[in-house]
Structure 1
Amino acid sequence: MVNNIFTHTVLISQSVTERLAHKVDCRRITEGDELEISYALDVIQNGDYNCSSNDDVRNNAQNCELFLKNFNYNRFTISKEEIDFPIAFSLLVHKDAVQIEILLRAIYRPHNVYCIHIDRKSNSSLHDAITAVTKCLPNVFIASKLEDVIYASYSRLQADINCMHDLLNYTDVKWKYLINLPAQEYPLKTNLEMVKILKLFNGTNSIESVYDTTTHYRVNETYKVNPKTLKVENTKQRKPPPPHNMTVGKGSAYGAFSRRFVEFSLNDERAQDLLKWTEDTYSPDETFWATLAINKHLGTPGIQYNALGFPDRRLWITTSTTWQSPGPGVNCHGRYVRDICVFGLGDLQKLVSEKEFFANKFYHDYQPYALKCMEEWIFNRSATSNNLSTDLFYYRRALNFT
């Protein structure tokens, strides 16, 4: 249901190249201009940049009309193609309303639907800020059941499951695909580009799923949360094999899931047996979707297999991540956190040419112009998206189309 509070108009010509980060030239930064990157780093180092807080987000959303206008929630023309192909988003946030609001405004469209899961143990300023934002956006809501999310525990997967249940029960939008995201990701494709690609996928999922014996320690023994440290610990107790003769897969916690796949995951008895089995494993969010995908005998909807009978890795187009690895060469111009690159200004030139939907990850308060320039880049692409030609050759090839 599209609320009539929104008006969608084509940006006038000067807005097509609108600069959102006024102190630096983002176009030059995304083109890899080293002098402009160096200048932007100097601006940041000199403290000439103020980062917002949870309270700022809450205060900004007190006046919905100004909030929607000032933060560009209703600036773009939406094509009939997009309206006919709504997408559901499951968003996870645990500490920073600023970060999730930056992501939300980039992916927001009034015909889509958005569920936000807030870590239940987060401070009240986060809950208050997100609540204020959802009051301004009729198709954005907070999950009906919140979890105390602990890293690598079952609660992380349960948070997504909760939003998925809510999104399936949301009757105003008959969404085609569901994409789950952490707050630290940011789009590399416009909504229209994602629609065109997902239409090409035609029910096929984008799920990372491999058979990796080096991660079997995660499921061969049981794990539990230490209530004092709130960390997952190995009990050293042997765990029985998974149900229904399943092989355990390993993959990302995030993906682009068809509606049929989500319904299967939440309703199929074998899928629910697997979900129960993962409760005392390590990082079940990285095994549940992958295991449903890798076991061909389950008949999981929307899985394309390669000649060896494994899910085709070429279809993993959801997230671009730079992992820390040994060897020469600079792969990350930001810094690493848990072996994942937090992108900096020097990474943008590569990112804007990637094929994936989203980049993981950014911190709004680390090299803040990196995220600000990505925001300017996707803003201007979205403003002209009806005039952009989406190159689908890469995705056709991944789907074995000729």
Structure 2
Amino acid sequence: MANSTKMVLLSLRRVLFLFGASGFKMIRRKFERVLIISFLLIIVIFTIKTNIGYIHKTYGKQHFYTQTVLISQSVTEILVHKVDCRRIIEGDELEIAYALDVLQNGDYNCSSNDDVRNNAQNCELFLKNFNYNRFTISKEEIDFPIAFSLLVHKDAVQIEILLRAIYRPHNVYCIHIDRKSNSSLHDAITAVTKCLPNVFIASKLEDVIYASYSRLQADINCMHDLFNYTDVKWKYVINLPAQEYPLKTNLEMVKILKLFNGTNSIESVYDTTTHYRVNKTYKVNPKSLKVESTKQRKPPPPHNMTVGKGSAYGAFSRRFVEFSLNDERAQDLLKWTEDTYSPDETFWATLAINKHLGTPGIQYNALGFPDRRLWITTSTTWQSPGPGVNCHGRYVRDICVFGLGDLQKLVSEKEFFANKFYHDYQPYALKCMEEWIFNRSATSNNLSTDLFYYRRALNFT
């Protein structure tokens, strides 16, 4: 092809030379540019067709629907039209003030569970209108599938927004719906799962009560289902509540988790101020549906374990999940946590903090505790006293529900996800995050991932 192009250029130069007039020099240069540009376009089109062919072939083997790949790798799309999300994310105070004014004075209608269900009645339109097939996927991602456990109890709109952001047809997703939630939520999620073959509802549903064992059991149920899911040999499980939203693209998460190479991202500390949670037994009050202390002393944990405290959420390697579900000592611990307060913040942390258990995928620091630097799953802003504004939204249970003024900080965080957003509170905050992650996902193959922070965390001694 290169030789043919050279011959064409030489012939063109000969023809233009015969004309001899200096006025033709500009014409000659234009023709040469057109030919060179045409040649480069042929190469680009050929490359895109080859990549698309490979991706379609790969998905065909896994029985997924045909994937649409964005051809334009450099053009970002504007999903929010009333405000400028780029300026908001850059921290432009005037644009943030304008967006807040629009929300305050405008008529903003939020979607409902019924809207989600109705939209998913026509799967073809649902996938198209909600951009479930508008992203690039690399072979690196296909070779490193991720499993997700998603918990939802009241809002199909919120979980669909999250699912849309993290969905890839080669991953797998288990959604646990609170069994006592209203039928409109169950119907909406069921409709969505019928459109996505690798998304399913947990086989066993719990009546989830805050701070009770049922919250942990819901995750365990999904992990059992995911571990027995044979169509996708996932490498990690990430568990999420509906109110979280990604700060990294799927490709970025893959690159980071490949670097972790089986090491878990689990928060685990020894905190004496939380021992009240496990020193006495707790049970659910059937009238108030709240966890209350029985005042009875709780026996110590099994197998000489030290009780750890951490987040309910993490990135768990396949070996860790297998250990958690099948190891006899892990199951004894799980049973022991049933009458404690908030066992979801105890179980994973305790498996990690006890070095003598040989729990797979735990990296310890020089003091023998799980390395805090590897906790990169969730970014949370807790309410704290002192000067300075930590939260530009509002606090719920001492956790910031992010607003527009928080986005500039969030997009530079090292964690995978941010907790939390409400789709009906300062809704442009979540919508601008949608636009940001959508465009990064569409062009992620052209973006370099800064792995220095994660390498340093893993290699720190």
TM range (shorter): over 0.9
Asked if structure 1 preserves the Cα contact closer than 8 Å seen for 2:73 and 2:446, the reply is no
Cα distance in 1 for partners of 2:372, 2:318 equals: 20
Q: How far apart are residue 401 of structure 1 and its match?
A: 6.4
Cα distance in 2 for partners of 1:5, 1:138 equals: 7
Structure (1 or 2) with the greater helix fraction: 2
Q: How far apart are residue 21 of structure 1 and its match?
A: 1.1
Change (3 A) 1:16 1:50: farther
Asked if structure 1 preserves the Cα contact closer than 8 Å seen for 2:283 and 2:292, the reply is yes
Change (3 A) 1:196 1:14: closer
Q: How far apart are residue 7 of structure 1 and its match?
A: 3.3
Change (3 A) 1:300 1:5: closer
Asked if structure 2 preserves the Cα contact closer than 8 Å seen for 1:179 and 1:255, the reply is yes
Q: How far apart are residue 5 of structure 1 and its match?
A: 5.6
Stretch deviating more after TM superposition (171-180 or 42-51): 42-51
Q: How far apart are residue 19 of structure 1 and its match?
A: 1.0
Cα distance in 2 for partners of 1:56, 1:37 equals: 29
Asked if structure 2 preserves the Cα contact closer than 8 Å seen for 1:16 and 1:383, the reply is no
Q: How far apart are residue 379 of structure 1 and its match?
A: 0.1
Q: Secondary structure at the match of 1:178?
A: strand
Q: Secondary structure at the match of 2:91?
A: coil
Q: Secondary structure at the match of 2:233?
A: coil
Cα distance in 2 for partners of 1:9, 1:387 equals: 18
Cα distance in 1 for partners of 2:227, 2:63 equals: 24
Q: Percent identity?
A: 96
The yes-or-no answer on 1:142 pairing with 2:201 is yes
Asked if structure 1 preserves the Cα contact closer than 8 Å seen for 2:64 and 2:169, the reply is no
Cα distance in 2 for partners of 1:136, 1:143 equals: 16
Cα distance in 2 for partners of 1:103, 1:121 equals: 22
Asked if structure 1 preserves the Cα contact closer than 8 Å seen for 2:265 and 2:376, the reply is yes
Cα distance in 1 for partners of 2:215, 2:232 equals: 25
Asked if structure 2 preserves the Cα contact closer than 8 Å seen for 1:90 and 1:164, the reply is yes
Asked if structure 2 preserves the Cα contact closer than 8 Å seen for 1:8 and 1:78, the reply is no
State the TM-score, normalized to the length of structure 2: 0.86
Asked if structure 1 preserves the Cα contact closer than 8 Å seen for 2:69 and 2:133, the reply is no
Change (3 A) 1:401 1:324: closer
Q: How far apart are residue 12 of structure 1 and its match?
A: 4.4
- Where does 1:271-286 land on structure 2 (aligned, <5 Å)? 271-286=330-345
Cα distance in 2 for partners of 1:199, 1:99 equals: 29
The yes-or-no answer on 1:50 pairing with 2:109 is yes
Cα distance in 2 for partners of 1:50, 1:401 equals: 49
Asked if structure 2 preserves the Cα contact closer than 8 Å seen for 1:87 and 1:176, the reply is yes
Change (3 A) 1:290 1:5: closer
Cα distance in 1 for partners of 2:112, 2:69 equals: 31
Asked if structure 1 preserves the Cα contact closer than 8 Å seen for 2:147 and 2:234, the reply is yes
2:418 corresponds to which of 359, 369, 376: 359
Cα distance in 2 for partners of 1:33, 1:338 equals: 29
Q: How far apart are residue 4 of structure 1 and its match?
A: 5.2
Asked if structure 2 preserves the Cα contact closer than 8 Å seen for 1:6 and 1:74, the reply is no
Cα distance in 2 for partners of 1:47, 1:231 equals: 38
Stretch deviating more after TM superposition (14-23 or 232-241): 14-23
Query: What is the aligned partner in structure 1 of residue 89 from structure 2?
Result: 30
CA deviation profile, 1:89-112 (whole Å, cap 9, x unmatched): 000000000000000000000000
Asked if structure 1 preserves the Cα contact closer than 8 Å seen for 2:243 and 2:422, the reply is yes
Aligned residue pairs total: 400
Q: Secondary structure at the match of 2:390?
A: coil
Query: What is the aligned partner in structure 1 of residue 147 from structure 2?
Result: 88
Asked if structure 1 preserves the Cα contact closer than 8 Å seen for 2:73 and 2:442, the reply is no
Cα distance in 2 for partners of 1:85, 1:5 equals: 16
Change (3 A) 1:142 1:308: same
Change (3 A) 1:16 1:4: farther
Segments of structure 1 that go 5 or more residues without pairing to the other structure are none
Q: How far apart are residue 13 of structure 1 and its match?
A: 3.6
CA deviation profile, 1:94-152 (whole Å, cap 9, x unmatched): 00000000000000000000000000000000000000000000000000000000000
Q: Secondary structure at the match of 2:170?
A: coil
Q: Secondary structure at the match of 2:294?
A: strand
Asked if structure 2 preserves the Cα contact closer than 8 Å seen for 1:8 and 1:77, the reply is no
Query: What is the aligned partner in structure 2 of residue 11 from structure 1?
Result: 70
Q: How far apart are residue 14 of structure 1 and its match?
A: 8.6
Cα distance in 2 for partners of 1:17, 1:67 equals: 22
Asked if structure 2 preserves the Cα contact closer than 8 Å seen for 1:91 and 1:183, the reply is yes
Cα distance in 1 for partners of 2:90, 2:377 equals: 23
Cα distance in 2 for partners of 1:27, 1:339 equals: 29
Q: How far apart are residue 49 of structure 1 and its match?
A: 1.8
Cα distance in 1 for partners of 2:433, 2:406 equals: 11
Cα distance in 2 for partners of 1:13, 1:171 equals: 35
1:302 corresponds to which of 358, 361, 365: 361
State the TM-score, normalized to the length of structure 1: 0.98
1:208 corresponds to which of 242, 267, 277: 267
Change (3 A) 1:270 1:167: same
Q: Secondary structure at the match of 1:27?
A: helix
Q: How far apart are residue 9 of structure 1 and its match?
A: 3.9
Cα distance in 2 for partners of 1:12, 1:23 equals: 27
CA deviation profile, 1:176-215 (whole Å, cap 9, x unmatched): 0000000000000000000000000000000000000000
Cα distance in 2 for partners of 1:218, 1:47 equals: 46
Change (3 A) 1:227 1:15: farther
Asked if structure 1 preserves the Cα contact closer than 8 Å seen for 2:162 and 2:242, the reply is yes
Q: Secondary structure at the match of 2:74?
A: helix
Query: What is the aligned partner in structure 2 of residue 104 from structure 1?
Result: 163
Cα distance in 2 for partners of 1:5, 1:319 equals: 30
Superposition RMSD in Å: 1.2
Q: How far apart are residue 316 of structure 1 and its match?
A: 0.1
CA deviation profile, 1:281-312 (whole Å, cap 9, x unmatched): 00000000000000000000000000000000
Q: How far apart are residue 8 of structure 1 and its match?
A: 3.2
Q: Secondary structure at the match of 2:97?
A: helix
Stretch deviating more after TM superposition (5-14 or 309-318): 5-14
Q: How far apart are residue 46 of structure 1 and its match?
A: 1.3
Asked if structure 1 preserves the Cα contact closer than 8 Å seen for 2:281 and 2:297, the reply is yes
Q: How far apart are residue 76 of structure 1 and its match?
A: 1.4
Bigger Cα Rg:
2
Q: How far apart are residue 15 of structure 1 and its match?
A: 7.9
Cα distance in 1 for partners of 2:74, 2:157 equals: 24
Runs of 4+ in 1 over 2 A off after TM superposition: 3-16
Q: How far apart are residue 22 of structure 1 and its match?
A: 1.0
Q: Secondary structure at the match of 1:222?
A: strand
Cα distance in 2 for partners of 1:250, 1:64 equals: 43
Query: What is the aligned partner in structure 2 of residue 191 from structure 1?
Result: 250
Q: How far apart are residue 17 of structure 1 and its match?
A: 1.6
The yes-or-no answer on 1:289 pairing with 2:357 is no
Q: How far apart are residue 167 of structure 1 and its match?
A: 0.2
Q: How far apart are residue 10 of structure 1 and its match?
A: 3.7
2:314 corresponds to which of 246, 251, 255: 255
